Amino acid sequence: MRDRKNAEEKARLLVSRMTVEEKASQLRFDSPAIERLHIPAYNWWNEALHGVARAGTATMFPQAIALAAMFDDEAMVKIGDVIATEGRAKYNAQSKQGDRDIYKGLTFWSPNINIFRDPRWGRGHETYGEDPFLTSRLGVAFVRGLQGNGPVMKAAACAKHFAVHSGPEALRHEFNAVASEKDMRETYLPAFEALVKEAGVEAVMGAYNRTNGEPCCGSTTLLKKILRGEWAFRGHVVSDCWAIRDFHERHKVTKNAEESVAMALHAGCDVNCGCTYQHVLDAYRKGMVSEDEITQAAVRLFTTRYLLGLFDGSEYDNIGYDVVECRRHTELAVDAARESIVLLKNSGILPLDKKRLHAIGVIGPNADSRVALQGNYHGTSSRYSTVLEGIQDEACDSVDIRYSQGCALFKDRVEALAQRQDRMSEALAVAALSDVIILCLGLDETLEGEEGDAGNGYASGDKKDLLLPEPQRELMEKIIATGKPVVVVLLSGSALDLQYADGKAAAVLEAWYPGARGGKAVADILFGHCSPSGKLPVTFYRTLDGFPAFTDYSMKGRTYRYMTGEALYPFGYGLSYGKVDVTHAEITNTVTKDSGIELSVDIENTGHCRTGEVVEVYIKDTDSVCAVRNWSLCAFRRVILSAGEKKCIALTVPAGALQCIDENGHAAVTGHRFKLYVGTSQPDARSVALTGRKPFELEILL
């Protein structure tokens, strides 16, 4: 157990020896050395969304949205621990050489636990999806893995972006997200609360936008009242990058940099990613901030450095560089990719049988793309396996593999001087020679990502709709029209309109951005070395017709909990090569308003292969006026069953699942009749039709 009180005392003593100028200098993300006190320089900015990022070689795990598709909190702890281990190894090696540059510290600005409420948001693939419960459980697990449970923190995690933040990217520097108290407490805040209270996350990052009128990085409501007041957060707060400058330049709530500094420091923002805190001393000399406020922020920051053992040393100082991208870590990354892949449709063509195939055509702009493996906020791998390479390695000369790019990712031609769709004839020639076609479509981080990073300048990283780029739609239609069986493999980070593929293709596989060696994982699924077992952490809508405006932060009509129409592929859905059923479920404790719900669940795989599966539990308050429209995920457990195997597992639904949030944001148990649905999907009609299985129903009366 870490001794925060002792670390705070050491930090306070050290800071007391500093001048006000020295204290102010430490509130910058690139904190300079204070040589007279033997304090080395430290750069607070590092990233670890799905592996140590932007600092050279590291194990690259699947993108965060793919990790969410695993529905596996135990795996998230392991992944977080691997990232922290490699982060320590890189820090140890680099700091010994005096390299204390950006992206080389131990304060990782991850995870992103914003709610993916709108499928157009370009940064949605950085998140754990649309559900606050799933996001909470996976976020808590990732933070626990990253920070460790020893007396010294292995690495410091950061929950971002606090709090109501999910696009549009083009407006984020000036946008005011208006959210009701009900939506705040029901959707936008639960994951942050869980990471603070349960995981002890060391840092929280504010968002660019305003929330209900206040800039998030200077919000007394968010940072003082809720974060430090209600939740008793004791770590440090960091601004998003150059967000404090937005106070006066874009939000226009302050007149100049000094006023912005004062607003942020008054609210409790301790370290500034950006340059505005270079004006801290100016604000101090004008009487706009006190020395006590500067001191308090510095103490919080040095408390973190002491907790990381950066002054007193720790067992982690002995972690050598040889652990970086070692075999064990890369194998874990490939395992994660396998678990994350979601089988959306299968007419029976999968898994492929090499003995019955003479030639496979691999076609599409994402078939041989390394960029499509990565997602954003990624490191560098020493080896990549694209989908094409994974299939080629699997074939081992026993099957003829033919390849065509087919079309550009979004442009109307591959070669600038060529005519439109200059790879189409080649793709059709490959198709004509093939017994089956693996059609690799989708997006990459240049089309969906962060404003300023993504290449689709027309949308600043967001998607304007759910359609695949036009050249890909045309390619898909023409390849399917050949009459050859087509397996669509989608590499993307968000929901897309797959109605044509669903109706015409023989199989559809969502592979997300599967990490550096994701092509091997895709090939393992295609050829049946393992069964697909991922579940959708987001709803795949049929259309955006009637969907709320992107700028509307009301949850009405959004996500599986509030939607009124039928999804194409629902949240929580995913097929496998096995056939797993929940055969019985029962409540094993006396349920009260204050108790959790203990469940005993019998599951059986009546299929012919070993498979992973996710048992999902949803709760519906059937009589409270403030209940969510549909139902809410309240428990889940990933299990593995061999063919014919039966298991009995225990699950706990937390007591809070019985509560509903009223219009004033107050949580209470006001309902008396509840339904629990225990199965391998949601209880909606579309999920039942797609899976052929109806969840087991239980009733609770209070």
| Residue 19 to residue 515: CA distance in whole angstroms | 47
Pair 11, 234: CB distance under 8 Å: no
Q: Per the structure block, which two tokens stand in for 675?
A: 């339904």
For the chain, how long is the longest CA-to-CA vector? 80
DSSP result, 292-332:
HHHHHHHHHHHHHHHHTTTTT--GGGG--GGGTT-HHHHHH
Q: Per the structure block, which two tokens stand in for 164?
A: 């109501």
Q: What are the φ and ψ backbone dihedral angles of 297, each rounded to 5 degrees?
A: -65, -45
The residues with which 363 forms a beta bridge, in sequence order, are 404, 439
Cα atoms found within 13 Å of the Cα of residue 136, Cβ hemisphere only: 21
Q: What are the φ and ψ backbone dihedral angles of 164, each rounded to 5 degrees?
A: -95, 90
Q: How far is CA 663 from the centre of its chain?
A: 29
| Residue 639 to residue 477: CA distance in whole angstroms | 38
| Residue 425 to residue 386: CA distance in whole angstroms | 23
CB contact burial 282-321 (16+ within 10 A = b; e otherwise): ebbeeebbeeebbbbbbbbbbbbbbbbbbeeebebeebee
Q: Per the structure block, which two tokens stand in for 175?
A: 């946008």
Q: Per the structure block, which two tokens stand in for 416?
A: 């600038």
The single residue listed with the structure tokens 């499928």 is 119
Catalytic residues: 240, 448
| Residue 388 to residue 402: CA distance in whole angstroms | 9
Kindly give the pairing relationship between strand 210-211 and strand 158-162.
unpaired
Pair 239, 271: CB distance under 8 Å: yes
| Residue 508 to residue 469: CA distance in whole angstroms | 18
| Residue 656 to residue 115: CA distance in whole angstroms | 19
Pair 317, 95: CB distance under 8 Å: no
Among the listed residues 43, 44, 207, 239, the one whose alpha carbon sits nearest the alpha carbon of residue 113? 207
Determine the 3-state secondary structure of 544 from DSSP.
coil
Q: Per the structure block, which two tokens stand in for 210?
A: 């305003």
DSSP result, 625-688:
TTS-SS-EEEEEEEEEE-TT-EEEEEEEE-GGGG-EE-TTS-EE---SEEEEEEESS-SSHHHH
The helix (run of H) or strand (run of E) holding residue 403 is: strand 400-404
Pair 368, 388: CB distance under 8 Å: yes
Pair 660, 549: CB distance under 8 Å: no
DSSP state of 173: T
